[in-house]
């Protein structure tokens, strides 16, 4: 029984970080109806930025995370103006392909620069043992930071002027423009926030798992699943979606072979899309 | 429109800058391969000019060797190392003026290679190109069993002799191939030695857990090792795969802990193996013996720090494993080629201090096998070379080489066997030690693992 | 507009495919055959995807699932059950058609991005499932014994045979694509693409029409999967259900011009020739992926209608020829 409990806790802690990654994806979707296929490589860039800042500058990983976040934000704004802005009103296919080409560019340059060899951030906060359950320091901190980031995002969206603009644009862009909201800048900011969240999640993941330039792909797929679980366009839903996925990943191996986890995960994903496309927590539009 | 254009040109500039940075950073690995191939082109052309002068007394044949490299994609690191090893062999032979046959003909080599992107889509197209357009005389396999299986179809079709390296699966050689020869110890014998090692260390241990990546290679390996362990009377308390994409081993490790094994055997490739080792360490799991595939022999495994200590891994070759002309004499085998020390120092000199892994040695030995076969055949005629390969039985720095010649498993490696290394924290810091087979051991096994 | 002139669009497209097919026969070189094999495979897959993507506007990111599933079913019959290649091909096509029918009933209700996501989910779920499915070899996959090739005249002959069958299928898929576009059924699809709700009001029974378009677009990839893996000699889950390959198909359709018969043909040719060039060119070989990405971005941003679409807009006189 202990082992079930241990797995649930492991899953929950990781779920927070998954949640942050998905939140980035779902924020972009909610504001501008764009599925960002460059999400995975941006997560990987977050990992690499943290790795280099940590190993070259010797900065504490959690301080480095601030830098990673800023870089993520700027990269997102750049990507928005270069690749997305021109096709923002075009059919879905255009934005999908535009973001996918950004994916190819990042992976292509990344492989040439870093090779596909694995990196490991050698950093540990030790572990705490409670009864028969061992908790890792890095994961606890990551979960706390994930919560803090969620809170910060919430405050930003609901308590600041740009945040209100973002919500206005998400609600109805035409109306917002009529009210004098500078929609291009707001869209770019939203995209930047989305990639910032992706980069932060990458940075957090890098503190406990080894990774390669291709490692983002898995988290991109997980973000899709989580985004749908929590309702696309619903950032808080994404956090809960992340927790649900984390717990599922913890519980499923206790009663069936671990290799069935992705079958169930993606099965559930398709099922939710069919039955409740607005997500478990979304209201019907 | 105008703004879009400006933005776009900004992107281009940005991309160029990034590309330039990327180019700057590549020096470590892929560029090394390029240097190698370009320098090989240099040397072979140098060899050509030298033969023009020497024309009256000896003629020169340039043999083209074709292979693909995974410049991009998931197998990038291992593949590039393999190619580095191969190019080192080729440059050495060419620098020495080539191989001399009995009629005075000098045989030099030239490499042709393409990027296979670590996936099978284009492998057959590229190997056909190598076999026909580039007129490759001999082929070397890509890295990984999957790509090799696809390229073997082409080698067989054109009757080209192909030395496979970096491809351990047994399956490929049991499909009626006749021109493909394997340099690696096949998957079915990858972990059996670890079971022997454990038995010699501690006969009281009875409970094993096999946990492995759910992919072709590792499944082949653990299934063979499992039946071997069962035949030795071990109890298998857990036999379970994990998805190749797995990054969080937490729940999996809890499951291992729950089943209470004394020893864990398994793993898959580098990425999952090193993640697994790190998390097993962080979770303070109490096992006495821990063996992983592929990851531990890689020099980069040391990045894991404490988590690496005590981990055992099978390796095709180790710098410390001493196969020498003397040991060949003792075993009554013919010795051929350089020693491990010579290989390591030449490799480090060629590739900016990069420590060779067994993939590098595998690449080198693939060339060496071909060289020996051409010498034995005293010809570059494919049929004669093939016959020489079938008769081959020799010892090299890489170990014993001998191929199966039966129709059922033609070309399967039956001479070579694995060595087992363990990461130990000694006076000189974290280092690999050979712990099995006993004859080649450089240190006692750290048992139980800390 | 009588006689053959009515079919100029089809004839132009077929001529291009035939030219590709006969090229290796003329040069007699095996490498030409292999290059054209890669190109024709892309052309056929892109054309089949176009029946769904181009005509109905539904973006499927998981089209490779039909290729992989068909390949697996066919390979299983071929290597484990020892059935003939012909039956294996039919079975592969049928398996994909059945999957498409079931999926069509379920996920085609979703619109836009939701449908795209669902197709990714289906492909990933299928890959993970096959990875656990022991009859198909699980993670190890299956390998074809060389003896099988001997039944078709040895490996050399088998490679040519695969090529001829691929060429024939490409011609068939082009004809299907043309017939769909010119038929009332096709008009229904185009109406769905423009405005699905309006189309339903006008009497198009959207769910049925979409499902049949999906099934039509799935059969050919299923058969192609069998041919490809027969030629490849082994099959494993990851290469069979490679998500990236699906996206490449979309890129080809987009490059040539979605919703046209000729577009995917040109797109497949262009994309594969470009990739082939970048992979072997000494200048771009190390950053070929990034260069391909940058080119794609330029096309998406500046020529969204694809080559054929752009030509049709620019030179209205060409519209009859370029369909």
Helices A183-206 and A39-57, interaxial angle, to 10°? 60
Cβ atoms of B260 and B237 within 8 Å: the answer is yes
pLDDT at C2: 54
A266 vs C: CB within 8 A: yes
Phi, psi for B289 (deg, rounded to 5):
-150, 130
pLDDT at A282: 64
pLDDT at B62: 92
Higher pLDDT: B40 or C58? It is C58
A112 vs C: CB within 8 A: yes
Query: Is residue B48 over pLDDT 60?
Result: no
pLDDT at B57: 56
Give C137's contacts in chain A (Cβ within 8 Å). none
Most B CBs within 10 Å, among C39, C157, C286, to test the B interface: C286
End-to-end, the C-alpha distance of chain B in Å comes to: 65
Q: Which residue has the tokens 């099995």?
A: B436
Helices A261-275 and C85-107, interaxial angle, to 10°? 50
- Give the domain extent around A196: 2-275
Closest CA to B163 of B335, B344, B362, B361: B362
CB-nearest to C287 from A87, A94, A109 is: A109
Query: Is residue C291 over pLDDT 70?
Result: yes
Which DSSP string do the residues of B293-315 spell out, in sequence order? Answer: SSTTTSGGGGGGGGGGTT-EEEE
- For residues B59-71, average pLDDT: 91
Number of domains in chain C: 1
Lowest mean pLDDT among A36-45, A95-104, B66-75, B417-426: B66-75
Query: Is residue B42 over pLDDT 90?
Result: no
> How, if at all, do strands B235-242 and B263-267 pair?
unpaired
Enumerate residues 219 to 248 of chain A having a beta carbon within 8 A of any beta carbon in chain C. Answer: 221, 224-225, 228, 232
Helices A261-275 and C112-132, interaxial angle, to 10°? 150
Using a pLDDT cut of 70, give the percent of chain A over it.
Answer: 98
pLDDT in tens, C84-112: 999 999 999 999 999 999 998 888 888 87
The CATH code for residues B32-185+321-402 is: 3.40.50.2300
Most C CBs within 10 Å, among B21, B120, B407, to test the C interface: B120
pLDDT at A283: 55
Do the first three CATH levels of B32-185+321-402 and B189-315+419-440 match, i.e. the same topology?
yes
Banded model confidence at residue B82, pLDDT cuts 50, 70, 90: very high
pLDDT at A1: 63
Q: Where are chain B's structural domains?
A: 32-185+321-402, 189-315+419-440
**Structure tokens, C96:** 């994909």
Query: Does CATH number 3.30.420.340 belong to domain B189-315+419-440?
Result: no
CA distances from A21 to A77, A196, B403 (A): 17, 9, 51
pLDDT at C247: 85
Most B CBs within 10 Å, among A120, A214, A217, A251, to test the B interface: A120
pLDDT in tens, B128-151: 889 988 899 999 999 988 899 889
pLDDT at B58: 67
pLDDT in tens, C164-213: 999 999 999 999 999 998 888 888 888 888 888 888 888 788 788 899 99
pLDDT in tens, C118-128: 999 999 999 99
Cβ atoms of B328 and B396 within 8 Å: the answer is no
The CA distance from A14 to B382, in Å, is 57
Using a pLDDT cut of 70, give the percent of chain C over it.
Answer: 98
Lowest mean pLDDT among A123-132, A216-225, C142-151: A123-132
Higher pLDDT: B138 or C243? It is B138
pLDDT at B145: 85
Q: Which CATH number does the domain housing residue C10 bear? A: 1.10.3470
- For residues A159-172, average pLDDT: 91
The CA distance from C267 to C269, in Å, is 5
Enumerate residues 228 to 247 of chain C having a beta carbon within 8 A of any beta carbon in chain B. Answer: 231-234, 236, 238-239, 242, 245
Closest-CA distance, A275 to chain C, in angstroms, reads 10
A80 vs C: CB within 8 A: no
Give C245's contacts in chain A (Cβ within 8 Å). none
Higher pLDDT: B236 or B443? It is B236
Banded model confidence at residue B43, pLDDT cuts 50, 70, 90: very low
Cβ atoms of C204 and C188 within 8 Å: the answer is yes
Closest-CA distance, A157 to chain C, in angstroms, reads 24
Query: Is residue B51 over pLDDT 50?
Result: no
According to the per-residue pLDDT averaged within each range, which of A203-212, B289-298, C68-77 is highest? C68-77
According to the per-residue pLDDT averaged within each range, which of A4-13, C3-12, C63-72, C107-116 is highest? C63-72
Q: Which CATH number does the domain housing residue A218 bear? A: 1.10.3470
Query: Is residue C224 over pLDDT 90?
Result: yes
CA closest to C103 among chain A residues: A270
**Structure tokens, C280:** 């072997």
Using a pLDDT cut of 90, give the percent of chain C over it.
Answer: 36
A140 vs B: CB within 8 A: no
Give B171's contacts in chain C (Cβ within 8 Å). 140, 143, 234
Lowest mean pLDDT among B6-20, B24-38, B379-393, C76-90: B24-38
Using a pLDDT cut of 90, give the percent of chain B over it.
Answer: 39
CB-nearest to C144 from B175, B215, B241 is: B175
Phi, psi for A60 (deg, rounded to 5):
-55, 135
pLDDT at B22: 36
Does A285 reside within a domain?
no
Using a pLDDT cut of 70, give the percent of chain B over it.
Answer: 87
pLDDT in tens, A42-87: 999 999 999 999 989 988 999 999 999 999 999 999 999 999 999 9
Q: Say which residues have a Cβ less than 8 Å from residue C86's Cβ, sequence separation at least 6.
A: none
Closest-CA distance, A102 to chain B, in angstroms, reads 11
CB-nearest to B149 from C34, C132, C233 is: C233
Closest-CA distance, B212 to chain A, in angstroms, reads 10
CA angle B78, B80, B84 (to 5 degrees): 115
pLDDT at C303: 86
Closest CA to B164 of B419, B411, B418, B379: B411
Give C122's contacts in chain A (Cβ within 8 Å). 266, 270
pLDDT at A246: 92
DSSP state of C80: I
Give the distance from CA A163 to its chain's centroid. 19
- Give the domain extent around C258: 3-320
The answer to whether C128 contacts A259, with C-beta atoms less than 8 Å apart, is yes
pLDDT in tens, B178-216: 899 999 999 999 999 899 999 988 889 889 999 999 888
Closest-CA distance, C158 to chain A, in angstroms, reads 35
Closest-CA distance, A244 to chain B, in angstroms, reads 15
pLDDT at C76: 95
Which DSSP string do the residues of C85-109 spell out, in sequence order? Answer: HHHHHHHHHHHHHHHHHHHHHHHTT
Higher pLDDT: B276 or B440? It is B276
- For residues C246-266, average pLDDT: 89
Residue C282: Cβ within 10 Å count = 9
The answer to whether B124 contacts C280, with C-beta atoms less than 8 Å apart, is no
Number of domains in chain A: 1
**Structure tokens, C23:** 């090229």
Exposure of C65 by Cβ count < 10 A (0-12 exposed, 13-18 middle, 19+ buried)? Answer: buried
**Average pLDDT over chain B, rounded to whole?**
83
Enumerate residues 229 to 288 of chain C having a beta carbon within 8 A of any beta carbon in chain A. Answer: 247, 250-251, 254, 258, 286-288
Query: Is residue B45 over pLDDT 50?
Result: no
Higher pLDDT: B250 or C163? It is C163
pLDDT in tens, B300-334: 888 888 888 999 999 999 887 678 888 888 888 89
The CA distance from B164 to B176, in Å, is 16
Most A CBs within 10 Å, among C59, C108, C125, C237, to test the A interface: C125
CA distances from B100 to A160, B41, B63, C292 (A): 80, 20, 13, 45
Cis peptide before C283 (omega within 30 of 0): no
Query: Is residue B29 over pLDDT 80?
Result: no
Banded model confidence at residue C3, pLDDT cuts 50, 70, 90: low
The CA distance from B398 to B363, in Å, is 11
Maximum separation of any 2 CA atoms in chain A, in Å:
60
CB-nearest to A35 from C113, C127, C297 is: C113
User: Where does B145-269 show beta strands of DSSP type E?
Assistant: 161-164, 180-182, 207-213, 235-242, 263-267
């Amino acid at each position: 029984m202990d082992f079930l409990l241990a797995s649930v806790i492991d899953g929950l802690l990781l779920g927070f970080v998954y949640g942050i990654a998905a939140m980035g994806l779902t924020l972009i979707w909610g504001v501008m109806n764009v599925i960002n296929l460059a999400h995975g490589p941006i997560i990987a860039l977050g990992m690499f930025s943290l790795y280099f800042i940590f190993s070259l500058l010797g900065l504490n990983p959690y301080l480095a995370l601030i830098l990673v976040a800023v870089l993520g934000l700027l990269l997102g704004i750049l990507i928005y103006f270069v690749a997305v802005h021109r096709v923002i009103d075009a059919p879905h296919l255009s934005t999908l392909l535009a973001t996918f080409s950004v994916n190819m560019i990042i992976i292509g340059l990344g492989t040439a620069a870093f090779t596909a060899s694995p990196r490991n951030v050698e950093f540990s906060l030790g572990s705490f043992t409670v009864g028969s359950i061992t908790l890792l320091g890095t994961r606890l901190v990551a979960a706390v930071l994930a919560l803090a980031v969620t809170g910060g995002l919430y405050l930003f969206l609901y308590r600041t002027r740009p945040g209100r603009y973002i919500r206005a644009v998400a609600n109805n862009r035409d109306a917002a423009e009529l009210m004098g909201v500078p929609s291009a800048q707001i869209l770019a900011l939203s995209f930047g926030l989305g990639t910032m969240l992706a980069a932060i999640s990458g940075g957090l993941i890098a503190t406990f798992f080894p990774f390669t330039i291709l490692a983002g792909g898995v988290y991109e797929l997980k973000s899709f699943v989580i985004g749908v679980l929590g309702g696309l366009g619903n950032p808080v839903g994404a956090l809960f979606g992340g927790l649900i996925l984390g717990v599922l990943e913890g519980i499923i191996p206790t009663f069936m072979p671990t290799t069935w986890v992705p079958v169930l995960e993606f099965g559930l994903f398709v099922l939710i899309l069919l039955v409740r496309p607005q997500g478990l927590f979304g209201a019907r539009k | 429109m105008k703004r879009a254009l400006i933005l776009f040109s900004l992107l281009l500039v940005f991309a160029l800058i990034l590309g330039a940075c990327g180019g700057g950073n590549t020096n470590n690995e892929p560029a090394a391969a390029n240097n190698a191939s370009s320098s090989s082109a240099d040397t072979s052309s140098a060899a050509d000019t030298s033969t023009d002068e020497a024309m009256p007394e000896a003629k020169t044949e340039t043999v083209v060797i074709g292979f693909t490299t995974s410049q991009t994609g998931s197998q990038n690191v291992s593949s590039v190392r393999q190619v580095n090893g191969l190019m080192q062999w080729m440059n050495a032979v060419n620098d020495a003026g080539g191989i001399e046959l009995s009629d005075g003909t000098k045989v030099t080599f030239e490499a042709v290679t393409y990027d296979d992107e670590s996936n099978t889509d284009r492998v057959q197209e590229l190997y056909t190109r190598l076999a026909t357009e580039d007129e490759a005389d001999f082929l070397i396999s890509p890295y990984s069993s999957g790509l090799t299986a696809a390229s073997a179809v082409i080698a067989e079709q054109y009757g080209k002799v192909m030395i496979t390296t970096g491809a351990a699966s047994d399956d490929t050689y049991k499909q009626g191939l006749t021109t493909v020869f394997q340099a690696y110890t096949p998957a079915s014998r990858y972990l059996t030695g670890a079971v022997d090692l454990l038995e010699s260390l501690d006969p009281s241990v009875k409970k094993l857990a096999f946990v492995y990546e759910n992919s072709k290679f590792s499944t082949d390996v653990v299934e063979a090792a499992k039946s071997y362990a069962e035949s030795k009377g071990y109890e298998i308390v857990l036999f379970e795969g994990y998805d190749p994409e797995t990054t969080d081993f937490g729940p999996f490790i809890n499951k291992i802990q729950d089943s209470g094994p004394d020893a864990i055997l398994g793993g898959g490739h580098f990425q999952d193996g090193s993640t697994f080792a790190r998390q097993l360490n962080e979770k303070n799991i109490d096992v006495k013996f821990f063996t992983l595939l592929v990851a531990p022999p890689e020099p980069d495994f040391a990045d894991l720090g404490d988590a690496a200590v005590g981990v055992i891994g099978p390796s095709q070759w180790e710098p410390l494993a001493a196969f020498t002309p003397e040991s060949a004499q003792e075993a009554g085998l013919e010795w051929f080629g350089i020693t491990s020390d010579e290989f390591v120092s030449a490799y480090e000199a060629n590739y900016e201090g990069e420590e060779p892994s067994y993939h590098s040695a595998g690449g080198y030995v693939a060339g060496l096998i071909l060289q020996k076969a051409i010498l034995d055949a005293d010809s570059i005629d494919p049929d004669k070379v093939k016959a020489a390969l079938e008769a081959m039985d020799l010892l090299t720095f890489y170990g014993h080489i001998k191929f199966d010649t039966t129709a059922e498993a033609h070309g399967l490696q039956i001479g070579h066997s694995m060595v087992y290394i363990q990461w130990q924290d000694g006076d000189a810091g974290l280092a690999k030690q050979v712990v099995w087979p006993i004859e080649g051991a450089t240190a006692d096994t750290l048992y139980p693992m800390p | 507009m009588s006689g053959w002139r009515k079919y100029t669009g089809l004839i132009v497209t077929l001529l291009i495919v035939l030219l590709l097919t006969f090229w290796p026969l003329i040069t007699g070189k095996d490498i030409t055959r292999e290059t054209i094999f890669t190109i024709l495979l892309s052309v056929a897959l892109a054309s089949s995807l176009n029946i769904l993507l181009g005509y109905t506007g539904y973006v499927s990111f998981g089209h490779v699932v039909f290729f992989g599933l068909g390949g697996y079913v066919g390979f299983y019959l071929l290597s484990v059950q020892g059935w003939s290649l012909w039956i294996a091909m039919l079975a592969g096509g049928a398996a994909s058609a059945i999957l498409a029918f079931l999926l069509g009933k379920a996920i085609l209700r979703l619109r836009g991005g939701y449908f795209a996501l669902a197709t990714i989910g289906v492909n990933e779920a299928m890959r993970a499932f096959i990875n656990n499915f022991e009859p198909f070899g699980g993670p190890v996959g299956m390998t074809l014994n060389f003896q099988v090739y001997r039944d078709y005249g040895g490996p050399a002959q088998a490679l040519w045979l695969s090529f001829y069958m691929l060429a024939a299928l490409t011609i068939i898929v082009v004809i299907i694509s043309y017939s769909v576009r010119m038929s009332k059924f096709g008009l229904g699809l185009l109406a769905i693409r423009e405005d699905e709700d309006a189309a339903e009001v006008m009497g198009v029974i959207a769910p049925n029409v979409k499902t049949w378009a999906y099934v039509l677009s799935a059969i050919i990839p299923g058969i192609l999967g069998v041919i490809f893996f027969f030629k490849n000699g082994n099959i494993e889950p990851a290469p069979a259900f490679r998500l990236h390959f699906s996206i490449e198909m979309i890129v080809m359709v987009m490059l040539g011009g979605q919703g046209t018969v000729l577009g995917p043909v040109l797109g497949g040719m262009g994309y594969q020739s470009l990739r082939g060039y970048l992979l072997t060119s000494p200048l771009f070989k190390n950053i070929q992926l990034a260069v391909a990405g940058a080119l794609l971005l330029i096309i998406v941003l500046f020529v969204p209608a694809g080559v054929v679409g752009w030509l049709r807009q620019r030179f209205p006189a060409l519209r009859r020829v370029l369909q």
